[in-house]
C-alpha cells in the first residue's frame, strides 16, 4: 500500500483497487487457484490460530493503566497524572491532540505541554502511533469487550452493525480544534472517554462514567466500535504520527488463502482490503497507518500471511 493511499484511507477515503500491480504479485494472483488455496488451508489445520498477541496486548494495557493507580495510591511517583497528561519518572508526557486543544483554547504555548508532546511524538513515531489505541488506551479495552457482546447479539439477529462514514473523524478533528480556538472551551476533553476512564482508574469513579456507558451501549446496539472507528481524533492524530514507523504489520500475498477471517476481527477492516483476492499490489505489503497493531489479524490468520515486522528486520517479532 502506497504511503499517500494509506494516509487518504485514514482520513476517510474508501479503499480502491490498485492501478499498478508488481510482476511478483501478478504471478501470485494468477496461481491462486482452488488447489493452491486448499493446500494452504490444509497446512494451516495442523497449527490452529490462538490468541497470543491479544493476550500480550491485554497484559500490557492492563499493566500500564494499573501502574497509574498504584503510583497514586502507594505514592511511589513512578507515573503521575492520567493518560491525557502525566509524568513518568519525572519526564513529561502529554497527549498531543488534547494538549493542542488546551493551547488553542488558552491561546498560550505551555512549555511543559510542548515537552510532553515531543516526548510522546518520538515514542509513538517509532512504535507506530495507533498502537497507543490497542496497547494502552483504557477505552479500547472496554470497547473490545463490548464488541464481543455486539457480535453475539448480531449472530442472533438481535442487533445490526450500522457503518458510518470514516471521514466524520477528520471533520470532528478540525471541528473540536476550531471550537477550542474560537470559544476557549475544550469540549472534546469533557467528552473524551479515554481521559474519563483513565481518571476513574486512578482517582476513582465519577458521574462522567455515565457518558462512557452510553457510548458503549450505542456501540453494542447500533454501530460496532463507533468511537474508535468514526469519532476519536486522538486515534487519527496517532495514526499520522506513526505513519512512517518501522514497527508495522506486513501482509504476505504468497501465504494468503483469501478466506477473510482477518477482516472480520479487525477494528479498522479497510486497512485489510488488500487481503481480498486481486487487491494486493505487491508480494509483501505494509498494512496502512490506520492499523492499530492490535495483532488480532496476526492471531487469527490460518496461513500465517500477516505478521509483525520491524522495517529492515523481517520476522524479528
Residue-wise pLDDT tens digits, 179-201? 999 999 999 999 999 999 999 99
- Closest residue by Cα to residue 172 from 188, 158, 196: 188
| Coil/strand/helix, residue 248 | strand
Tell me which of 33-37, 55-59, 98-102 is least confident. Answer: 33-37
pTM tops 0.75, yes or no: yes
Q: Which helix (H) or strand (E) holds 247?
A: strand 247-252
pLDDT > 90 in the chain, percent? 68
Overall average pLDDT of the 145-154 stretch: 96
Distance (Å, rounded) from C-alpha 284 to C-alpha 119?
32
Residue pair 57/295 in contact by the 8 Å Cβ criterion: yes
Rounded Cα distance, 286 and 250, in Å: 4
Amino acid at each position: 500500500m502506497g504511503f499517500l493511499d494509506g494516509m487518504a484511507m485514514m482520513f476517510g477515503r474508501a479503499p480502491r483497487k490498485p492501478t499498478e500491480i508488481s510482476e511478483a504479485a501478478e504471478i501470485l494472483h494468477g496461481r491462486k487457484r482452488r488447489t493452491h488455496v486448499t493446500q494452504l488451508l490444509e497446512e494451516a489445520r495442523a497449527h490452529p490460530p490462538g490468541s497470543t498477541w491479544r493476550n500480550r496486548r491485554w497484559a500490557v494495557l492492563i499493566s500500564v493503566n494499573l501502574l497509574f493507580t498504584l503510583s497514586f495510591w502507594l505514592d511511589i511517583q513512578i507515573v503521575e497524572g492520567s493518560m491525557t497528561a502525566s509524568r513518568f519518572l519525572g519526564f513529561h508526557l502529554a497527549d498531543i491532540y488534547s494538549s493542542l486543544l488546551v493551547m488553542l483554547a488558552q491561546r498560550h504555548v505551555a512549555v511543559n505541554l510542548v515537552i510532553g508532546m515531543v516526548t510522546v511524538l518520538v515514542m509513538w513515531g517509532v512504535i507506530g502511533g495507533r498502537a497507543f489505541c490497542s496497547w494502552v488506551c483504557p477505552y479500547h479495552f472496554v470497547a473490545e469487550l463490548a464488541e464481543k457482546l455486539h457480535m453475539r447479539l448480531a449472530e442472533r439477529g438481535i442487533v445490526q452493525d450500522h457503518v458510518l462514514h470514516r471521514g466524520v473523524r477528520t471533520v470532528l478533528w478540525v471541528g473540536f480544534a476550531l471550537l477550542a480556538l474560537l470559544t476557549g472551551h475544550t469540549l472534546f476533553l469533557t467528552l473524551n472517554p479515554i481521559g474519563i476512564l483513565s481518571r476513574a482508574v486512578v482517582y476513582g469513579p465519577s458521574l462522567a462514567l455515565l457518558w462512557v456507558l452510553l457510548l458503549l451501549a450505542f456501540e453494542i446496539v447500533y454501530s460496532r466500535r463507533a468511537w474508535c472507528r468514526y469519532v476519536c481524533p486522538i486515534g487519527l492524530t496517532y495514526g499520522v504520527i506513526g505513519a512512517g514507523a518501522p514497527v508495522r504489520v506486513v501482509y504476505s500475498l504468497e501465504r494468503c488463502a483469501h478466506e477473510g477471517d482477518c477482516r472480520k476481527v479487525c477494528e479498522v477492516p479497510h486497512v485489510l482490503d488488500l487481503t481480498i483476492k486481486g487487491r494486493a499490489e505487491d508480494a509483501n505489503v505494509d498494512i496502512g497507518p490506520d492499523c492499530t497493531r492490535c495483532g488480532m489479524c496476526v492471531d487469527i490468520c490460518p496461513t500465517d500471511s500477516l505478521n509483525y515486522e520491524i522495517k529492515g528486520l523481517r520476522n524479528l517479532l
